[in-house]
Structure 1
Amino acid sequence: MKRYGNKNGNAGVVAYETGKDFIKLLFRDRAEVYTYSELSAGKSNIERMKRLAQSGEGLTTFVTRNVHDKYEK
């Protein structure tokens, strides 16, 4: 997994991994990795999450507001 940039310094996401149709997230206060896929969260949401992860800003807020419970496992 890649370390999340966390430009604001207070992000809940600490690391991520992307694939063709998914993104996996590790949160600061969780021991498990959450997988969000195009099937569970929608293609446009996954693509947006990938861009936010690469930029290092806004990913935690986006997850909280848009896809919070739409993870696979």
Structure 2
Amino acid sequence: MVKYSDLSGNSGVEAYDIGNNYIKIRFKGGDVYLYSYAKPGKRHVEEMKHLATIGKGLATYISRNIKNRFEAKL
């Protein structure tokens, strides 16, 4: 997993792993969630990939737009 840059300095996201049709996100505390094209959908996954790579806004995006719509808790 890649360490999340957290440019805002207060994110709940710790690290991420990007695949072709998914993103795995590790939150502070150690929980890892899989978000895929199947759930919550391609548009959301692609936006989360973008936010992960720029290091800003990922946790906020998830809390506002995704909530508990993840494919799996790993």
Same fold at TM > 0.5: yes
Q: CA deviation at 1:68?
A: 1.5
| RMSD (Å), alpha carbons | 0.7
Partner of 1:53: 52
Structure 1 unaligned segments of length 5 or more: list them.
none
* Residues 10-42 of structure 1 deviation map (CA, whole Å, 9 limit, x = unaligned): 00000000101100000013x331000011111
Partner of 2:66: 67
Structure 2 unaligned segments of length 5 or more: list them.
none
SS in 1 for 2:8: coil
Alignment of 1:1-73 (within 5 A): 1-29=1-29, 31-73=30-72
- Aligned equivalents of 1:32 and 1:14: distance in 2? 10
TM-score by length of 2: 0.93
SS in 2 for 1:40: coil
SS in 1 for 2:38: helix
TM-score by length of 1: 0.94
Instruction: Determine which structure has the larger helix proportion and give its number.
Output: 1
Q: Percent identity?
A: 42
Q: How many residues are aligned here?
A: 72
- Aligned equivalents of 1:40 and 1:48: distance in 2? 13
SS in 1 for 2:39: helix
